[in-house]
Amino acid sequence: MSAPAQPSGSAEVGDTGAHEMEHGTTKLAVETEALTRRFATVTAVDHLNLAVPASSIFGLLGPNGAGKTTTIKMLITMLPPSAGVARVAGYDVQRQPVEVRRAIGYVSQMLSADGALTGYENLLLFARIYAIPRRERRDRVFDALEFMGLSEAAHLLVKNYSGGMIRRLEIAQSMMHRPAVLFLDEPTIGLDPVARRAVWAHLRELLSRFGTTILMTTHDMEEAEEMCEYVAIMHRGRAVATGSPEALRASVGPQASLDDVFVHFVGGLIDEGGSYRESARIRRTARRLG
Amino acid sequence: MKAEAIGKAPGFGAPLGGWARRELPGAVRDTLAIADIELRKLRRDPIELFTRAVQPALWLLVFGQVFGRIRAIPTGGIDYLTFLVPGILAQSVLFIAIFYGINVIWEKDLGIVQKLLVSPAPRTALVLGKALSAGIRGLAQGIIIYVLASLMRIRLNFAPWHVLGVVFFIILGSALFSTFSLAVACIVRTRERFMGIGQVLTMPLFFASNAIYPLASMPGWVRDLAIVNPLSYQVDALRFLMVQGGQSVFGLAQDCWVLVVVLAAFVLLTGWLYPNVAA
């Protein structure tokens, strides 16, 4: 694989990356320029610049309240930015929201498949909504179930599924229309290690089969290390470091782990800021203001 | 090599290739998809439909019998109990529809609404699909009322055209008030607040209508309220269609267009408010 014009391998804010890369050989699946979201008194996302190469797995890392979820919400057209620009699959999230929605899949932090329906019905709904023609729907749904290892549970109500099965079903749901970009918000939070590995394996398989770009948030360093070609470490709404996990580790020290990198860029700041409170406050304000 | 992968990845650049050619117009298909899902859920858990029979039974057996005996309410030739039946049908449909919005708050808390909002389905189709399923849900009330009326030996009009008309107006009224309920849910966004508001809304809608007394018997200010209350038009149509020799005050055509226009307005409004529920 030809190394994509690296998104600033050095550990600095990827300020310069975006434009060069747009004109370079690599296409960008997601690109933000000075993306900002304010809620009343707090700035949840603050002049964020991201460049996510197509067909890569990109991780947004950061402590709670760093602005990861707010960023995702803006990218999936659920929250209008206060300032700045974001393009997803080449479409502007503010000016072309419908095009963006057609081109993306989204799996939220919550286990949100509908428990009152079977796995098959959950997928069928999305097959319809994403305009898959009638004669292909059944095949597409059963392919997806098989791919995710859920064939035998197809006609069971989802409320009887385990957490790992629900997560896999949701990934299948978000992939019904073969989106160019898949957004995952904490994809393996709350799953046991086996279920977690199964989700990882399926995500990798999606990338290799369909070339899907995956943008995931996580605060699990093992997940980032295992899955992501590139990561951006967010803190207080900004990307304080971007690059491949290896490059970031190398920038901190010879023996550094990704945990060390995280602490290096975020740790000290947490001590002085009391980030948990901040996060709770931002979330409350965000909920209130919508 | 990367670039090729992108070119092949369906969904990039031209997300809707040949496979996405639509059979039904997109919005219609999305509406039906949502309604279908809701009805599948209902079919799995139909018991709630029949616990809803208690309240209308009380209204007909107690309130109807008593007021029928007093003959205090002028109903123009037909006996009071017969006059009351369509009103109680509309009322029981209203009482269910007005709390329908709580479903969407549930679904928001589970993250289901968010996923639908991220899809390209038009928001109005998401709303209309819910409204349609609520409309069909209301039909169960129709069956209950017809059974109760038969048991009480109240003679209703069973002409096929009339029964079809009743089906139509139940769906229409139920869709209308459930959409209104969804709009309220999008504004208040929590179950607790919603329940409070639902309680506050039902009684005024019910009493400021022609459900249990005719327009002609109301004082002027109540009549003015009743005339802008969509429930009155639903009751008016049902009374004409269900009662033998029933009369319509507004005319069936006016009943129909008033309800359709108000429903359309609520669907547009709620479609616009819908993203709000998930925020």
What pLDDT digit, counting tens, does each position of B108-145 carry? 998 899 999 999 999 999 999 999 999 988 998 999 99
> Does the residue B18 lie in any domain?
no
Given B9, B107, B118, which is nearest A76 (Cβ)? B118
pLDDT at A274 over 70: no
> Does the residue B17 lie in any domain?
no
ipTM of the prediction greater than 0.90, yes or no: no
For chain A, give every domain's residue range.
17-112+181-191+209-289
Query: Per mean pLDDT, which range of A19-23, B59-63, B212-216 is the poorest?
Result: A19-23
**pLDDT, tens digit, 9 for 90 and up, residues A110-167:** 888 999 999 999 999 999 999 999 889 999 999 999 999 999 999 999 999 999 999 9
Domain A17-112+181-191+209-289: CATH superfamily is P-loop containing nucleotide triphosphate hydrolases (3.40.50.300)
> Does the residue B91 lie in any domain?
yes
Burial A260-271 (b: 16+ CB within 10 A, else e): bbbebbbeeebe
Shortest Cα–Cα distance, B167 to chain A (Å): 27
Q: Of B231, B228, B224, whose CA–CA distance to B210 is shortest? A: B231
> Does the residue B70 lie in any domain?
yes
> Does the residue B266 lie in any domain?
yes
3-state secondary structure of B209: coil
What is the C-alpha to C-alpha distance for residues B13 and A103, in angstroms, rounded to an integer?
Answer: 8
Q: How confident is the model at residue A63 (pLDDT cuts 50, 70, 90)?
A: confident
Give chain B positions within 8 Å (CB) of A109. Answer: 111
Q: Best mutation site among B1, B4, B6 for testing chain A: the one with the most A CBs within 10 Å?
A: B6
What is the C-alpha to C-alpha distance for residues A126 and B121, in angstroms, rounded to an integer?
Answer: 10
Question: What domain count does chain B have?
Answer: 1
More confident residue, A11 or B147: B147
Task: Look at B111 and A117 and tell me if their CB atoms are within 8 Å.
Answer: no
Q: How far is CA B116 from the centre of its chain?
A: 22
What integer pLDDT is reported at residue A89 of this predicted model?
95
> Does the residue B14 lie in any domain?
no
> Does the residue B6 lie in any domain?
no
Q: Of A66, A76, A69, A94, whose CA–CA distance to A238 is shortest? A: A66
- Please tell me the number of Cα atoms within 13 Å of B192 on its side-chain side: 0
Task: Look at A180 and B12 and tell me if their CB atoms are within 8 Å.
Answer: yes
**pLDDT, tens digit, 9 for 90 and up, residues B195-233:** 999 889 999 999 999 999 999 999 999 999 999 999 999
What integer pLDDT is reported at residue A201 of this predicted model?
93
Burial A171-184 (b: 16+ CB within 10 A, else e): bbbbbbbbbbbbbb
The domain in which residue B266 lies consists of 24-278
Residues B175-186, mean pLDDT to the nearest whole number: 96
Residues B45-68, mean pLDDT to the nearest whole number: 85
Q: Percent of chain A scored above 90 by pLDDT? A: 65
Instruction: Give the position of tokens 């997806």.
Output: A144
3-state secondary structure of B77: coil
Q: How far apart, in Å, do the first and last CA atoms of chain B sit?
A: 40
Given A89, A110, A129, which is nearest B110 (Cβ)? A110
